[in-house]
Amino acid sequence: MDIGIDRISFYTAQYFLDLKLLAEERKVDPGKFLIGIGQEKMGIPPPDEDIVTMAASAAFPLKNSGELEQVETILFATESGIDQSKSAGLFVHGLLDLPERCRVVELKQACYSATAALRMAMGLVAMNPHTKVLVIASDVARYALGSPGESTQGCGAVAFTVAANPRLVAIDPEAGFYSSDVMDFWRPNYLSEALVDGRYSTLIYIKALLKSWQQYAAQSGRTPENFARFCYHIPFTRMAEKAHQKLVKGISGEELHRVTGESLIYSRVAGNCYSASLYIGLCSLLDHSGEDLAGKRIGFYSYGSGCTAEFFSGVVQPGWRGVLFSDAHKTLLANRAALTFRQYEDIYLYGIPTDGGEYSFPQYRTGPFRFAGLRAHKRIYEPAGI
């Protein structure tokens, strides 16, 4: 019995900052962002948008398509947690009015956690093949204003169902893993911005890729030539390209673009989405591929700082184009509003109050749901437009 990703949907905020504008204001060469890291825009969530509203918006098309009726578990992956106890997934469970017979758990290991959720989901489906698991990854990448990481911010969420006999990608049994206790990226509880040692993190990302690939290749007997495409964790798109150039030494620019380019299109304009980025890359690949990928194998590299990494693979299923949300994804990105630099800084500095007071947040453009405010130490969510 094959198990894997049955349907997938992604969402990002309705606002973005053009990185040419950021370069102008920070007085740096725009090529540093557009070419050096391969990013054009970064998604910016307004005050009434957070990981819950983005997650619910990503899962909403699945709900409306009847894909969640057999879901008995929600696994919510994030490194932008909003509560030390309650899973963000329970807010999503409520907003989507899902059945009471449902497990809901939140997972954390930096950007790797969505892959951990996928693996756990596959085990649950193997035990009960008539059920599905909803995996959600949602994050806001936030770094200090003026810091080296500022241009690698972004936000987004992805929601996918894991099922037996999947309609999109059947996941292969082989996998290579790697873990090491390192401090390349972290966010202490007392900070709202992440800290990163960028050069070190790049080295660890590559080392973990090569280690996990070696295990995977030994198990499967496959070589890079056995893959039609590759999807990488994407802190910025140039990182994925650099990684593939390390995996396949001497690869031509044309071949590099052929096997990775389609997976990078959404991340180039949404920015870093942490735990969601690998799977937004899969959405981007499937939505943009001009080639029929049915029966062809995709390589996946998942990396979470700190660090844990995994290389695995999956085979695209016949009829895959018929179960995509491509038009909705492209319409979302095409209709976002550009922020001025002043608006970007105002939103960044607005923040979420931490004094325990009661607040109502102004209504901005969001998806179907919004973060309305804080009352009695509780986060209040509601359908947008109320």
Active site residues: 79, 111, 233
- Burial class, 331, CB count within 10 angstroms (exposed 0-12 / middle 13-18 / buried 19+): exposed
Cβ-proximal residues to 80 (8 Å cutoff; 6+ apart), any chain: 50, 51, 138, 139, 140, 142, 274
Query: SS3 for 252?
Result: coil
A 10 A CB-CB count for 271 gives 30
Burial pattern 59-86, b for ≥16 Cβ within 10 A else e, equals: bbbbbeeebbebbbbbbbbbbbbbeeee
Q: How far apart are CA 114 and CA 96, in angstroms?
A: 20
Task: Give the distance from CA 39 to its chain's centroid.
Answer: 16
- Burial class, 261, CB count within 10 angstroms (exposed 0-12 / middle 13-18 / buried 19+): middle
Single-letter amino acid, residue 167? R
**Nearest 5 degrees, angle CA 162-CA 171-CA 91?**
25
DSSP string, 139-197: EEE---TTSTTGGG-EEEEEEEEEEES-SSEEEEEEEEEEE----SEE--TT-SS-EE-
Which residue, chain included where needed, has tokens 């098309």? 61
Q: How far apart are CA 185 and CA 233, in angstroms?
A: 14
What are the residue ranges of helices labelled H in the chain? Answer: 19-26, 30-31, 51-64, 88-95, 113-127, 198-220, 237-247, 253-260, 265-270, 277-288, 326-334, 341-350
DSSP string, 296-330: -EEEEEEEETTTEEEEEEEEEPTTGGGG--HHHHH
Residue 9 host element (H or E): strand 3-11
